[in-house]
Amino acid sequence: MKRKKSKIFRFIKIMLVLFLLTMGGIFVYIKTSPKLEINSANSFVLYDNTGEVFFQGNESKTWVSLDDISDYLIQATIYTEDKNFYKHHGFDFLRILKATYVNITSGTTKQGASTITQQYAKNLFLDFDKTWKRKWDEMWYTMRIEANYSKDEILEGYLNTINYGHGKYGIENASQFYFNKPAKDLDLAEATMLTGIPKSPSNYSPLVNYDLAKERQLLILNLLVENDVITEEEKNQAYQEELVFSGVEQQEELETVMYYQDAVIKELETIDSIPSSYSDTKGLKIYTNLDLNAQKNLEKTIRETIPDESEIETAAVMMNPNTGGIIALVGGRDYSKSSFNRATDSMRQVGSTMKSYLYYAALENGFTSSSAFTSEATTFTFNNQSDYSPRNYNNTYGNKPISMATAIAYSENIYAVKTHLFLGSDALINVARRVGITAKLEDIPSLPLGTNEISIIEMAAGYSAFANLGYKVEPHLIEKVVDADGKVLYQADNSKELVLNSSLTFILNNMLTGTYDPDYIDYNYPTAIALASKLTHKYALKSGTTNTDNWNIGFNNDIVSAVWVGYDDNQSLNTSEYKYAQNIWYESVEFYEQGKSDEDTWYQKPSNVSAVLVDPISGKPVTEDATKKKLMYFIKGTEPTATDPVFDEKVTEENPT
């Protein structure tokens, strides 16, 4: 074992000598090359849909010199991140050697050896490059920075651009955020607390995990004692000092954009025309679809709807159905506690929101708003002799034929499964694919009940095809990307593809208003009847409910809004928690639509569609003494008659029941 370690050590020394010779030659080349610009490298500015800046990355709003930064903070940063910063030329070779030896002999990656200059290079130039090439680029940029800038300039740039969590880049912004004071006034306790954050802002922010932040603060204080920067007594006093944080009160404004901002950067990575390492662009201007008022209200509504003590999570997307532009996005309840973006990175069971695709398929295959199946407890037996017994919510059945419009209003599971089996599974899957659903869809009887998992953005985009009367759109946050010289690197393509019949989507959209319509009160209540007196505009609306997930997706021709609520660990929801998604949906969409009229946001009847007064429950034409009358829509020539059959009568052994 001893001989093996000796060989490893000798090999490392040889490689290090070769490395030093190579680096020396490269350093001479760099010194004679044009100076690398770092002031604007890899900076990006995000604009909302009005052209106002809402986020700046790697570009501090307030740049301060080293003279205006607490010496405690400077010393703590150096002794924590790079003890030999003022002695090396970008790479701490002894530290690299030690870290390599420890990692090889231990079989782990316990130790790292990145210098402040290396970290600065990575932050400035390499945010999007995730290949092995990144390491070589990092080395190259590190040498160019060291060759062209003084140590003080490098340290100043590093401290003014590093991420201190909660969207705060740069020490001055961080100091103001956490302690409401300039960076030059930070005391030892405050400085060491802030120094610990950049290693992992999502873990070491005192606003996220105070105990973990205190552990790291103590580690940093001990390093300062070991290097004779402070005394043991000063360490103890600093560690025991009660810190007062101001960032909690300032959180509201920040939280409204962080999930959206992360989603923008994630989307930026997918755009081929944006280079993975774009230092030559000298910064990017990214124009997005963000409606800051809608975003702030959505966040506010979530905070006011879900109790603080609850651990339930949420995701929400508001989309322009005519372009696919995402105007608001929430990926969770509290970015400071969890930066995981449930809007972009999570897939959940969608429940009965899947039924809208099924019922469009039914309309396309000859069904009408009045087409009837019998609402009753049903066991389906298949040719392989297996049984399937879905249930309606609360085991409520009409034990009589009901119209498709009623099935939508009540979200009847029996009607949905009968329709699905009657049409064949290809019909539902085909519609879902046409409108942009790419998630796996299993060919099973429960497919229309939403047992498959789909992302909230895909669902919002899919419903946009209903909202815009038949056109598939591509969901996106970014409209345009421009470099510092004004060159347009990317422009969103907002073209639409007609994938559905506009007249049939008009009919479906009107049936989806029945979910909160008192005219459908009979043996059951519409699923969103609680909203009947609250909504001031007309919307199509569908809810989806499983044991672990609750959805509300609603729209008009102006906006599609999708809200999901559930637990990250898939624990079951209790009865009171099923109201959260509905309340978030209606509060946020009503805010967005205030001041607009239904004449502008609802749909004009197509010329090939007729309006007929029918009994909403049975779907039959009304008689003179009818107590319930509802205007429903039909393709001309398909209007209901009193003798229309109930579809159960047509189900055969080939279409099993």
Which residues are the active-site residues? 81, 352
DSSP-derived pairing of the beta strands 453-454 and 348-349: antiparallel
Distance between CA 191 and CA 72 in Å, rounded? 6
* Encoded tokens for 304: 């006011």
Q: Write the single-letter amino acid at 114.
A: S
The distance of Cα 348 from the centroid of its chain, to the nearest Å, equals 13
Give the residues across from 551 on adjacent strands.
544, 564
Residue 489 main-chain phi, psi, to 5 deg: -90, -25
Percentages of the chain per state (helix, strand, coil), in multiples of 5: 45, 15, 40
Q: Which residue has the tokens 């956490």?
A: 178
DSSP 21-90: HHHHHHHHHHHTSPPPP-SSTT-EEEE-TTS-EEEEESS-SS---GGGS-HHHHHHHHHHH-TTTTTSSS
3-class secondary structure for 494-508?
Answer: CCCEECCCHHHHHHH
Distance between CA 57 and CA 161 in Å, rounded? 8
Distance between CA 145 and CA 120 in Å, rounded? 9
Distance between CA 44 and CA 64 in Å, rounded? 19
Helical segments of 336-443, H only: 342-345, 355-364, 404-410, 413-423, 425-434
Give the residues across from 163 on adjacent strands.
169
* Encoded tokens for 252: 């509201």
